[in-house]
Structure 1
Amino acid sequence: MLAIHLTQFGEPEQSLKVVDVPEPPAPAAGQALIQVEYAPLDHHDLLLAKGVYPVRPELPSVIGNEGAGTVLAVGADVTHVRPGDTVLLPFGTFAWSEQVLAQAAKLTVVDKSISLDQAAMLSINPVTAGLLVESRDLPAGSWVLQNAANSGVGRSVIAFAKERGLRTINIVRREELVTELEELGADIVLIDAPDVAARVRAIIGDDPVLLGLDGVSGGATSLLLDVLTEGALLVIYGYMSGEPFTPDQNVLKAKNITPTEFWMYQDEYLPRHPALGAESARLVAEGGLTLPSARVYEAKDFAEALAYLRKNGKVLLDFNPHRG
């Protein structure tokens, strides 16, 4: 069967290879055998391939941080899932293979009303968003501030915040995104500019803003610091600018703002993944969350998919050789 192996840490174009590997054995007790349907190819995967991601498997290895599949068979003592179920692949089960074995207890079953391609994108961005919104216990009606609001995480933050009775202040870089995000449930959407703080205050008055989510870092962080109020928490979860987190320390001290870096696979967060994955699936099924569509490539055409990612963004790999 087909799989994609990381052969060495380095440039993905040279280190990721389409290979033929034996099918997995029958599932042992507590395991499930899964036909992988779709698995995203994202920049997180390229960081892993380069060896700069916190996860470093022994090589050669299948990689792929996210995906969804159909249960083909289960081992003894498995009651949580059954053949035919659509499931999200858990952390630690690499997705880039036609079939994989996984611990059944870690699988999240999702409703079949959710398309397989949407299911494949539920495990990282929406779960990250849920964890970010939960970073601070805020009363209903509180404001959550974020940049990169049009990203996969940002759109999911809007949905999770709305679900918890929180309101969002969203910073974007293009005018056409304002109406689009408002239609998704964003309360305030503003264009990135030096006067963001003044425009926020013109809308919300003296309301505190105690949680900021930074997916950009670099110079973009200063706009968040301008808006955040005394005693706020600033969570840095991404570096889309390509620049490090270098905030003005004087501003942090003056406002008593606590900065913290976030990685969704820290031990403290892992127990929340299944529940947030299930909540993400429910929100998608109910229409409360729509994940951005992605270009689909058959897994055998991985080189073309990688080239597309480099120029255009996230793609989905189709690992089901029997799809019509």
Structure 2
Amino acid sequence: MKALLSTEVGGPDTLVLSELPSPQAKPGFAVVQVKACGVNFPDVLIIEDKYQFKPERPFAPGGEIAGVITSVGEGVTHVKPGDRVLGNTGWGGMAEELALEAARLVKIPDAMPFDDAAAFIMTYGTSYHALKDRADIKPGQTLLVLGAAGGVGLAAVELGKQMGARVIAAASSQEKIDLCKKHGADEGVVYGRGPFDRDGQKELAAQFKAACGPDGADVIYDAIGGDYAEPALRSIAWEGKYLVVGFAAGEIPKIPLNLALLKGCDIVGVFWGAWVGKNPQRHQASVAELLDMYVAGKIKPFVSERFPLARAAEAIKHLASRKAMGKVVVTID
């Protein structure tokens, strides 16, 4: 089978399309013929050894897949050969076949295309966990989403609306804001490209405050970090919740903690991957709820671009450029 492998630390250009033996299903595992693999920001980080997890090389990037089960190991009962499934893998998804702990696999509706399924679990899983479990967002609250046109951001926009929030989408172009409004955002903020000096940060904070209104944002969803974080925090409501989701801007921000004191707010970490491992039953319940929303037509991944496996490195590079909107998917035939 073919797999796109990271054999050395580096960017997408270091990845190599290679031949590997087909995997076998050990006890508790299932082998999946991969049909599609979602591309996410952790794929950019993991090949550069900048992610929380550092797998032993060689490994394939790709943290979420969809495909068909070809075999199962001893003790696996909830899925069987022939089942159409999605799974969160952490890494390994950019390959024609993958052996994965069967507990990570979820059967998908017959009407769900594989590219939708491969674009589903990490973005909606992360954003649902953030808004439901970490923020406990309530109907009528104001939600500010940074990086709103990206994968997790657009999922947060859709889910925020489904949960009754007033959603303010913040992104780097009017085209991206228009996309967010098509997916439910009430208003939008177009911000410039950082880095920002102090005057630039003050101007950005004023933009956020104007969009959120005099009471501020009850919940801020930040998947960007960098110089965008402090201006966003300055727009938070009293006793609001600031969700730390990721750092797509490339820098971990240094937050003046006096702002948390003055705002009486919570700065809340969102580490969905670790939460899934610690709360498997709650995760399964959340996935079931999300799939119900999908079947009802309330949420749907926006797949903007598709790349074949042979060009999967280009897909990661495109995502890293921060030009992608919605989800990028690698398709595997």
Q: Structure 1 residue 308: deviation in Å?
A: 5.0
Residues in 2 aligned to 1:189 and 1:309: alpha-carbon distance in whole angstroms: 22
After superposition, residues 274-285 of structure 1 pair within 5 angstroms as 274-285=284-295
Q: Structure 1 residue 238: deviation in Å?
A: 2.1
**Between Structure 1 and Structure 2, how many residues are aligned?**
314
Taking a change above 3 Å as real, the CA distance of residues 115 and 217 of structure 1, as seen in their structure-2 partners, is: same
Q: Which of the residues 308, 312, 326 maps onto 1:298?
A: 308
Counterpart of 1:61? 59
Moved more, 187-196 or 130-139: 187-196
TM value normalised by structure 1: 0.85
After superposition, residues 173-192 of structure 1 pair within 5 angstroms as 173-192=172-191
RMSD of equivalent CA atoms? 2.7
Counterpart of 2:263? 255
**Counterpart residue type for residue 210 of structure 2:** A
Q: Structure 1 residue 133: deviation in Å?
A: 0.5
Taking a change above 3 Å as real, the CA distance of residues 248 and 39 of structure 1, as seen in their structure-2 partners, is: same
Residues in 1 aligned to 2:12 and 2:178: alpha-carbon distance in whole angstroms: 37
Residues in 1 aligned to 2:315 and 2:4: alpha-carbon distance in whole angstroms: 12
Residues in 2 aligned to 1:104 and 1:93: alpha-carbon distance in whole angstroms: 15
Counterpart of 2:41? 43
Q: Gaps spanning 5+ residues in structure 1: where?
A: none
Q: Gaps spanning 5+ residues in structure 2: where?
A: 192-203
Counterpart of 1:17? 16
After superposition, residues 106-185 of structure 1 pair within 5 angstroms as 106-134=104-132, 135-185=134-184
Moved more, 113-122 or 160-169: 160-169
- Equivalent position SS for 2:64: coil
Taking a change above 3 Å as real, the CA distance of residues 33 and 263 of structure 1, as seen in their structure-2 partners, is: same
Structure 1 position 222 matched with structure 2 position 230: yes
Structure 1 position 211 matched with structure 2 position 219: yes
1:45-64: per-residue Cα shift (whole Å, max 9, x none)?
12101111111111222332
Taking a change above 3 Å as real, the CA distance of residues 217 and 2 of structure 1, as seen in their structure-2 partners, is: same
- Equivalent position SS for 1:32: strand
Q: 1:140–1:165: 8 Å Cα contact kept in structure 2?
A: yes
Q: Which of the residues 209, 213, 220 maps onto 1:197?
A: 209
Residues in 1 aligned to 2:55 and 2:130: alpha-carbon distance in whole angstroms: 26
- Equivalent position SS for 1:266: helix
Q: 1:122–1:277: 8 Å Cα contact kept in structure 2?
A: no
Q: Structure 1 residue 189: deviation in Å?
A: 2.9
Q: Which of the residues 296, 316, 322 maps onto 2:329?
A: 316
Moved more, 1-10 or 75-84: 75-84
The percent identity for this pair of structures is: 25
Taking a change above 3 Å as real, the CA distance of residues 86 and 209 of structure 1, as seen in their structure-2 partners, is: same
Taking a change above 3 Å as real, the CA distance of residues 73 and 178 of structure 1, as seen in their structure-2 partners, is: same
Q: Structure 1 residue 224: deviation in Å?
A: 2.2
Taking a change above 3 Å as real, the CA distance of residues 76 and 285 of structure 1, as seen in their structure-2 partners, is: same
TM value normalised by structure 2: 0.83
1:63-106: per-residue Cα shift (whole Å, max 9, x none)?
32121111122334433112222211234562122112222232
**Counterpart residue type for residue 158 of structure 1:** V
- Equivalent position SS for 1:276: helix
Counterpart of 1:240? 248
Q: 1:122–1:280: 8 Å Cα contact kept in structure 2?
A: no
Q: 2:157–2:167: 8 Å Cα contact kept in structure 1?
A: yes
